[in-house]
Structure 1
Amino acid sequence: MENKYLLHSKLTAKPGQQKELADILIQASQVVSTAKGCQLYVVSYNKEDEASVYVTEIWDSKIDHDDSLK
């Protein structure tokens, strides 16, 4: 089994802007998901928690993830 680099992030939106934040991250995912080494980039939120947006990413390596931020 290969080692992968996983990130699971919780972002907090301003009141009433959860869906807007999620939409921005979904748009960004269209670019990020094509980056070298990106295996998964998922944006999600819980309708019962009106502030949080979650991003889950799986990369082949931390280097690939770091390069995607450049």
Structure 2
Amino acid sequence: MYGLMGRMLAAPGEREALLAIMLEGHAPMPGCRSYVIARDPKSEDGIWITEVWDSKQAHTDSLQLPHVQATIAKAKPIIAGFAEFIETEPLGGSGL
């Protein structure tokens, strides 16, 4: 398996709008075992994204899906950047 944990920063005052974009209408993503979007309680602009995929290739392939491309395009203007980005090798757990 392949895992990612990242902390994204919304433009000031845009976190709720960014969360809404990221949470709307999720269509299936082949190979995705878990995709969690969360507020960072320590940052007014921070969002945590935690993902588990069957493989790194499944994650890479997902970035080409039309609905993922549309979400990225819609969110991009209010993304201020990424504060942290961590790759992991999940071994198992609840729901996996």
Hey, what's the Cα distance between the residues in 2 that align with 1:25 and 1:38?
16
Q: Matches of residues 1-70 of structure 1 in structure 2 within 5 Å?
A: 4-27=1-24, 30-31=26-27, 34-70=28-64
Hey, what's the Cα distance between the residues in 2 that align with 1:21 and 1:47?
15
Give the TM-score of the pair, scaled to structure 2.
Answer: 0.61
**Which 4+ residue blocks in structure 1 deviate beyond 4 angstroms?**
none
| 3-state secondary structure, aligned to 2:16 | helix
| 3-state secondary structure, aligned to 1:40 | strand
Unaligned stretches of 5+ in structure 2?
A: 65-96
Give the TM-score of the pair, scaled to structure 1.
Answer: 0.82
CA RMSD of aligned residues (A): 1.3
Percent identical residues: 34
